[in-house]
Amino acid sequence: MHPTIRSAADYRALEDVPIAARLDAPHPLGVIAARAERHGERAAFVFATPGDVAGPCGVVSFADYVAGARRAANLFHELGLGPDEVVSFLLPLRAEAYFTLLGGGAAGIVNPVNPFLEDWQIAEILATAGTRILVVPAPALDEALWAKIEAVRARLPQLKAVVTVGGEGGTGTHPFAEADGLPGDRLLSGREIRGEDTVAYFHTGGTTGTPKLARHTNFMHAAQCWITGLAMGYGADDVLLTGLPLFHVGGAMVMGLAASAQGTTVLQPSPAGFRDPKVLGTLWRLVERHRATAIAGVPTVLGAGLGVPVEGADISSLRWAAASGAPLPLEVQRGFSELIGRPVFEAFGMTETTSFVTYPARSTAPVEGGVGFAMPYCEVRTARVDDERIERFCAADEIGNVVIRGPSVIQGYLDPDHDDGVVLADGWLNSGDLGRLDAAGQLFLTGRAKDMIIRGGHNIDPGIIDDVLHAHPAVEAAAAVGKPDAHSGELPVAYVQLAPGASAGAEEIQAFVRARIGERAANPVNIFIIDALPLTGVGKIFKPALRQDAIRRVYEEITAPLAAAAGRGVTVTVAADPVHGTLATIGLAGSEDADLSQAITAALAPFIVRHAVVWD
């Protein structure tokens, strides 16, 4: 039974016992094996039939999970994987993916990769990781992905083996089913897994750009299994409905290893997770059939769930919902909470911290706009940061860079060149996010100091867009930023300053970019040609001003028709704000009209950036 958590002090009180003393083992396989000894026959995973609530389900017990992970580790060992070598995988949400995640880290270093990337991006990540074994769906399971894999294999001469899930892969491949004949009670390698050993590489820094791999150790994963499990209140009677992919730390850790370490059953609605269009309409009936106690996903999933009527389904088993991966709009949080009659928690974490580092006090109502307190053994502060050092920590409610320290924080990337400006002195990590801590220690995110664009929970590096734009002969200067979007949170847009005497239209430049950026999600949805880009005092492009302009354009586009219908004029100004980070002020002409104010507030509710309606 987890202790009652009502405040930051309750988290801090748990730190009287060293984190190492709380762990069954210093590595995730040992932690989950200890759980299997206590709850071996309990379901670790339930795999539903997509779109068919009454259909048959695949069930993997905790005993089967640990045995399957050991068999996978033994297969990789038999195929020549050493403890310092990498097994990468691109798999849907099937049992074999979880076996590979846990078993791959026991045999060597595991590297989950996003299969939705372009083949050249996948190849770069696999090459950077030094992949020796690759686990992928067989052609019969995913013909389109297999075509990518064939292209990738040609660029990876260092591969020792390709392992196929769901069928044969042809010459030079091994079916995953070969693991079935190997022992599930021990590691054939005889390896003693140490806490300080690297267990995983996770790709971060955007789905475009030079691959940046965060190094996770066994102890980091084992520690987060306890820390996250405690904060979220996971228990052996819980059933977690989720659909996050395992290449995301949210899916691998928060809704994966951490849940399993506490004996929680993970319910997967489809091999494609929440991406499967057949899943959403069955959401509440899935809850009813499996008596799910929690739902967790990115904000877009919760937002989509608002449009699915409960229609008499019994969802009384639900205790809470949680969102992470991108900022959660207040109206989505409120609406989803009202729909299920339970709290919706928003947390904060990143690939570089292995999992969450803040979580609300689950025994109290969530604070709107807050992402919780620093979890046990985690330090979260706001600070003024200059390059690679902390100048000073901020006072309560003062906005600064969110910096993090603790047992789950990376000590560096695979390539040390990527550490600059992120891995700071004394173990601190610069998240690149801006925020403030109130007097109670609750963290409120207010924006980003870094340039990353977050589209539907996936990161896009704007530098790639900038580079392509600058290759256009008519472009003198350019910069990509994110604009608010009601569905995806943000979409990439670009601002362009033409060279003297040059002429080019937005459509021409957009076509130029689309032809040169392989990933469709990273292509800017708008090109704005302006006279001159805003600059800092030292001549650098000042992207905060461009972000503010992008917000202004979106909010004007939404509010202008509403104001015009009421016979009013409207102006939108966007500026920095000491509480919210950024505030959009909607200025309306004439005497106050409560109906118009309400209509504007409702229209802007899905967006993250706060707004205020004022009347002249």
Tens of pLDDT, residue by residue over 258-274, are 999 999 999 999 999 99
CA–CA separation, 1 and 264 (whole Å): 13
Residues 233 and 281 in one domain: yes
Q: Is residue 140 part of a domain?
A: yes
DSSP-based three-state secondary structure for 460? strand
pLDDT at 209 over 80: no
> 302 lies in a domain?
yes
Please classify residue 567 by burial: count the beta carbons closer than 10 Å to its beta carbon, then call 0-12 exposed, 13-18 middle and 19+ buried.
Answer: exposed
Beta strands in 166-242 (DSSP E): 173-175, 198-204, 212-217, 239-242
**In the numeric block, which tokens belong to residue 406?**
């603790």
Give pLDDT tens digits for 317-352: 999 999 987 788 888 899 999 999 999 999 999 999
Tell me the CATH number at 30.
3.40.50.12780
Contacts of 414 (CB under 8 A, 6+ apart): 128, 129, 201, 213, 214, 215
Decide if pLDDT at 500 tops 90. no
Q: Which residues contact 336 (CB under 8 A, 6 or more apart)?
A: 302, 303, 305, 306, 321, 344
Residue 539 lies in a domain: no
The model's pTM is: 0.85
- 284 and 141 both lie in a single domain: yes
Query: For position 558, which CATH number holds?
Result: 3.30.300
What is the reported pLDDT for 208? 45
Q: Residue 368, SS3?
A: coil
425: helix, strand or coil: helix
Diameter of the chain by CA atoms?
79
In this structure, are 487 and 554 located in the same domain? no
Last residue within a domain, chosen from 475, 502, 533: 533
Q: Mark whether 217 and 76 lie in a shared domain.
A: yes
Is-contact 245 268, C-beta < 8 A? no
Q: What is the CATH number of the domain that holds 521?
A: 3.30.300.30
pLDDT digits (tens, 9 = 90+) for 215-247: 999 999 999 999 999 999 999 999 999 999 999
Tell me the per-residue pLDDT of 389-428, one tens digit each, with 9 for 90 and over: 899 999 999 989 999 999 999 999 999 989 988 999 899 9
Residues 494 and 379 in one domain: no
Is residue 108 in a domain? yes
Q: What angle do CA 12, 248, 47 make, to 5 degrees?
A: 105
**Is residue 435 situated within a structural domain?**
no
Closest to 525 measured CA to CA, from 595, 442, 465, 476: 465
* Three-state secondary structure call for residue 82: coil
Average pLDDT of the chain to the nearest whole number: 92
Is residue 614 predicted with pLDDT exceeding 70? Answer: yes
Which residues, listed in sequence order, are joined to residue 165 by a DSSP beta bridge?
A: 137
Number of domains making up the chain? 3
DSSP 8-state secondary structure symbol assigned to residue 252: I
Alpha-carbon span 475 to 499, nearest angstrom = 5
Predicted local distance difference test score (pLDDT) of residue 600: 95
Question: Last residue of a domain, which of 505, 533, 561?
Answer: 533
User: Do 313 and 360 have their domain in common?
Assistant: yes
- pLDDT for res 210: 63
Do residues 479 and 569 both lie within one domain?
no
In whole angstroms, give the CA distance from residue 473 to residue 468: 11
Residue 594, domain extent:
550-615
Question: Is residue 109 domain-resident?
Answer: yes
- For residue 185, is it within any domain? yes
Q: How far apart are the first and last CA of the chain?
A: 56
* ∠ CA 236-240-241, rounded to 5°: 160
Same domain, 62 and 167: yes
Question: What's the rounded Cα separation, in Å, for the pair 558 and 280?
Answer: 27
- Contact between 53 and 286 (Cβ < 8 Å): yes
Q: How far is CA 108 from CA 72, 76, 157, in A?
A: 11, 8, 19
Predicted confidence (pLDDT) per residue in 167-184, tens digit: 999 888 999 999 999 999
Dihedral, CA of residue 75, residue 76, residue 79 and residue 80, to nearest 10: -140
In a domain, 58, yes or no: yes
Give the whole-angstrom CA distance, residue 429 versus residue 446: 18
Mean pLDDT of 527-540: 82
**587 shares its domain with 482:** no
Cβ(239)–Cβ(213) below 8 Å: no
